[in-house]
């Protein structure tokens, strides 16, 4: 099994597409949850090339994360257990200086929601990060915008979803 790593990430709502979006690399992700608890979640993710089972623990800025690559057959065997706990999003990778902004544009019942995430090597880097103007309100510590919450409960109130 892969060792647990610490994921340090900030998350922001986005109202308008950033400059250069159409020329940025992107992929469609389908994601489903096998289990969601108060301090941990187990999810499946398929980006069209690689299928992964991920266990995340904790909440907020710093979370534990273990990822295990699955075969397509293993993924498809588990996928039916995620019915009612899924989401689909288009992820754009936007390089910006030392960071990569990962812009997720959601589809299906979450259509219209855009969230950008930035991962950091340290909590100090995360704290020092100055978001660009196109980033909206920060939702790093808002549990309603965790992917597991979005997959299980849908969009937060309409007025809350605007960056």
State the virtual CA torsion across 103, 106, 110, 116 in degrees, nearest 10.
0
Nearest CA among 136, 94, 89, 142 for reference residue 118? 94
- Gap between the Cα atoms of 51 and 140, Å rounded: 25
- Gap between the Cα atoms of 62 and 58, Å rounded: 7
- Gap between the Cα atoms of 60 and 163, Å rounded: 19
- Gap between the Cα atoms of 62 and 163, Å rounded: 23
Looking at 33, 49, 106, 145, which residue is catalytic?
A: 33
106 is a catalytic site residue: no
- Gap between the Cα atoms of 131 and 120, Å rounded: 13
- What are the catalytic residues? 33
């Amino acid at each position: 099994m892969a060792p647990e790593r610490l994921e340090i990430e900030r998350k922001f709502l986005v109202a308008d597409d950033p400059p250069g979006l159409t020329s940025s690399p992107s992929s469609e992700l389908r994601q489903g949850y096998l289990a969601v608890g108060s301090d941990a979640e187990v999810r499946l993710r398929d980006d069209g090339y690689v299928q992964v089972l991920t266990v995340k623990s904790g909440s907020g800025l710093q979370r534990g994360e273990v990822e295990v690559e699955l075969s397509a057959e293993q993924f498809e065997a588990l996928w039916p257990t995620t019915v009612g706990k899924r989401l689909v999003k288009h992820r754009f990778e936007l390089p910006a200086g030392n960071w990569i902004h990962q812009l997720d544009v959601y589809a299906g019942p979450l259509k219209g929601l855009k969230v950008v995430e930035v991962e950091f090597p340290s909590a100090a880097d995360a704290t020092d990060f100055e978001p660009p103007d196109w980033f909206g309100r920060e939702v790093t510590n808002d549990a309603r915008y965790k992917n597991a919450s979005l997959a299980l409960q849908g969009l937060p109130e309409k007025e809350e979803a605007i960056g």
